[in-house]
Amino acid sequence: MIELRGLTKFYKTKNGRHYVYRNVNVIFPEGKNIGVIGPNGAGKSTLLRLIGKIEYPNEGKIITNKRISFPVGFQGGFQGSLTGRELAKFVMNVYLTDEEECKEKIKWIYEFTELGRYFDMPVKTYSTGMRARLAFGISMALDFDYYLLDEVTAVGDAEFKRKSHHILQEKLTKGANIILASHSLELVKKFCDLIVIPYKGDIILFTNFKEVEEFYQKVCFEGPIFRENGDRT
Partner 1 sequence: MRALTQLYRVVIALLVRELKTRFGKYRLGFIWAFLEPMLLMSVFIGIRGIMAGSIRGGIERFIYHIEYPLFLASGLLPFFLFRHSVTQLMNTITANRGLFAYQPVKPIDAFLARWFLEGLIFIVLWIFIFGALYKLNFTFEIKNPLGLIAMYFLFYLFSFGIGLIFSIAVELFDELRNIISIIMLLLFFLSGIFFSILQIPERYRIFLLWNPVLHFIELCRENMFYLYEIEDCSYLYVIIATLVSLFLGLSLYKLKIHEVISER
3-class SS letters over the chain: CEEEEEEEEEEEECCEEEEEEEEEEEEECCCCCEEEECCCCCCHHHHHHHHCCCCCCCEEEEEECCCECCCECCCCCCCCCCEHHHHHHHHHHHHCCCHHHHHHHHHHHHHHHCCHHHHHCEHHHCCHHHHHHHHHHHHHHCCCCEEEEECHHHCCCHHHHHHHHHHHHHHHHCCCEEEEEECCHHHHHHHCCEEEEEECCEEEEECCHHHHHHHHHHHHHCCCHHHHHCCCC
Query: Residues 100, 101, 102, 107: is their CA dihedral positive or negative?
Result: positive
- Report, in Å, the least distance between residue 34 CB and partner 1: 19
Binding-site residue total for partner 1 (CB under 8 A)?
22
- Is the CB of 42 or the CB of 194 nearer to partner 1? 42
d(C-alpha 26, C-alpha 52), whole Å: 16
Contacts with partner 1, 97-116, as mask; x by CB under 8 A:
x-------------------
- Report, in Å, the least distance between residue 189 CB and partner 1: 28
- Report, in Å, the least distance between residue 56 CB and partner 1: 4
- Report, in Å, the least distance between residue 55 CB and partner 1: 4
Q: Binding of partner 1 at residue 158 (CB under 8 A)?
A: no
- Is the CB of 46 or the CB of 182 nearer to partner 1? 46
Q: Which of residues 21, 95, 118, 146 is near partner 1 by CB under 8 A?
A: 95
- Is the CB of 52 or the CB of 156 nearer to partner 1? 52
- Is the CB of 81 or the CB of 169 nearer to partner 1? 81
Contacts with partner 1, 45-84, as mask; x by CB under 8 A:
-------xxxxx-----------x-xx----xxxxxxx--
Q: Binding of partner 1 at residue 137 (CB under 8 A)?
A: no
- Is the CB of 35 or the CB of 73 nearer to partner 1? 73
Scanning 94-102, 107-115, 204-212, 215-223 for contacts with partner 1 by CB under 8 A, the matching segment is 94-102
- CA 131 to chain centroid, in Å, comes to 14
- Report, in Å, the least distance between residue 231 CB and partner 1: 22
Q: Binding of partner 1 at residue 128 (CB under 8 A)?
A: no
Q: Which residues contact 88 (CB under 8 A, 6 or more apart)?
A: 105, 106, 109, 110, 134, 137, 138, 141
The residues that touch partner 1, with contacts defined as CB under 8 A, are 52-56, 68, 70-71, 76-82, 86, 90-91, 93-95, 97
